[in-house]
Amino acid sequence: MRASTGSAPYHHLDALPRELWRWAVVCSSGQPAARLPHMARWMEALLAGALPDTTEDFGDAAATQALRPLLVELELLTLTQGSAPLTRQVMQSLLWHLDSLIDRPADEPRAQTIARMRNEFRDSWDVQRQGWDEVLSLLQSLGDLAHLRWDDLQGHLNRREWGEARRIGELLQRLPQLARFIDGVGRREHAQHPPALTTQPDARDQMPAARHPADEEERRPEPTAVDGVRRSRTLARMTGGESLNLTHPVLRRLWRARFAEAQLLTYDDRAREQSQRPLPQPELQSRRHHPTHAGRGPLIVCLDTSGSMRGAPENVAKACVLQALRSAHAGRRACRLLAFGGPGELLERDMAMDAEGLSHLLDLMGQSFDGGTDVQTPMERAVALVQTTEWHEADLLIVSDGEFGVTHQTLAQLRDAKQRLALRVHGILIGDRETVGLAEVCDQLHWVREWRRYGSGATVVGDGFSPVHSRSLTALYFPNAIRR
């Protein structure tokens, strides 16, 4: 990069994020001519999860070398790797602490000031690193949360709901089968540019067409020509051997039996004739369009917040939402929460891995489930969502104890969306048995059989305990009740 007249060395700012310009200019450690070009190489190294060369010291070797080991000791390189926001935060912190050296008392040796600055840097990132570790432990990734400033993140960590979220995260570790089920929602791994609907060729379209017209050999009577022997009861064309049987007293009976059965040997005097007989042409089959899921589409979570979900089912349901957020972010899929209760109680929130999404998640963690059960509204809203381009090929995840039903009209709309828009409906049953409503709408169902074990302060029961032997009691005893 060539510097224009009067701009050196500040032309190096072009290689830095705009958020670092002020920090790069006002820092009093080292000379700008050395500090500014070194900053770009520090950014590249931290993004790669490594330290730059020791010669990149911002023009202040003593102070910079004192901070370098702390980046490894505090494992900050694992945070900055691939995360531009956290890389900027670490760079800002480095420059701020280096700039603090200018405020040292006149009677204090600079080496002592550097040691104090080093301890302050460690203490600061001990706290911050613990906060980021908590976020990583809960969400398993940072996503756009890395853009948060520390004071903003600290505000979320200080919320009462954060403790509840951590408890739900610990509970989720005890539900590996549930986590695997939610991770598997969606047929195939995500494609780069999935079409809304893909077509599959009909195998009948690839069958070779029948010959038309077809050449077929036909015989017609012509007494002047003999072509072999055949069995019949035509006496005029009977062979000599059959005639001799008539003169024998015993073989006469055999001749009569053969005559009755048309099994006499007779001359075949029918000549071949070429005839054009068209074969039936196969009916043209129109190419059928089969909706297939071209990849993992967006995820819509319908969460039952009715009063029947209070207690242990509520804890498992919140764990489902947390795992859905993790899976959606890992697969780069949009995720929307439809929390439903009684009539008019529908809460719709985008669950993104950003500050707003984290706030929505914490709001849910602090919510108590005590509403009614009106599943019509969220189902209709989900069907309306998949009509839009953004939510084509969506996967609908219903988390409920199964105590609900849908009308014929809603069920018809849901089935139409499955057929036309590749909508798939997955259910998580947090109860003892599936109901007609849940069995009708779900294509795939996961039963959390041991849900009683996860109540707050509840008596712990044995693994897999359930008072019923099967979740499918409705289908077992009332098979005709389910509308298929």
HEC letters along 263-296: CEEEECCEEEEEEEECCCCCCCCCCCCCCCCCCC
Looking at the chain, which residues constitute the CATH 3.40.50.410 domain(s)? 171-187+293-460
Residue 99's nearest CA partner among 30, 12, 10 is 30
Between CA 258 and CA 231 the distance in angstroms is 9
Between CA 88 and CA 149 the distance in angstroms is 10
Topology (CATH) of 171-187+293-460: Rossmann fold (3.40.50)
Kindly compute the dihedral angle of the four CA atoms of residues 55, 58, 59, 65, in this order, to the nearest 10 degrees: -60
HEC sequence for 71-131? HHHCCHHHHHCCCHHHHHHHHHHHHHHHHHHHHCCCCCCHHHHHHHHHHHHHHHHHHHHHH
Between CA 20 and CA 258 the distance in angstroms is 111
**How far is residue 138 CA from its own chain's centroid?**
19
Q: What is the pLDDT along the chain (484 residues), one digit of tens a residue?
A: 445 556 778 888 888 888 889 888 999 888 888 899 999 999 999 999 999 999 999 989 999 999 999 999 988 888 888 888 888 889 999 999 999 999 888 889 999 999 999 999 999 888 888 888 888 778 777 677 777 776 777 788 888 888 888 889 889 889 999 999 998 887 544 444 444 444 444 444 444 444 444 444 555 555 556 777 889 888 888 888 888 888 898 899 999 998 988 889 888 876 665 555 555 555 544 444 444 444 578 999 999 888 888 888 889 999 999 999 988 888 888 999 998 887 778 889 998 888 888 888 888 888 877 777 777 888 888 888 988 888 888 899 999 887 777 788 888 888 888 888 888 899 998 887 667 777 788 888 888 888 888 876 544 444 444 545 455 555 554 455 444 4
Distances (CA, A) of 299 to 181, 382, 415: 14, 10, 18
| 3-state SS assignment for residue 447 | strand
- Kindly report the number of other CB atoms within 10 A of residue 194's CB atom: 18
Residue 374's nearest CA partner among 411, 413, 340, 410 is 340
E strands within 248-378? 264-267, 270-277, 299-304, 335-340, 346-350
Residue 299's nearest CA partner among 382, 380, 356 is 382
Between CA 429 and CA 447 the distance in angstroms is 5
Residues facing residue 444 across a β-bridge: 426
HEC sequence for 196-242? CCCCCCCHHHHCCCCCCCEEEEEEEECCCCCCCEEEECCHHHECHHH
Query: What pTM, to 2 d.p., does this model score?
Result: 0.63
Between CA 299 and CA 327 the distance in angstroms is 9
Give yes or no for a contact between 329 and 301, defined as CB atoms under 8 angstroms apart: no
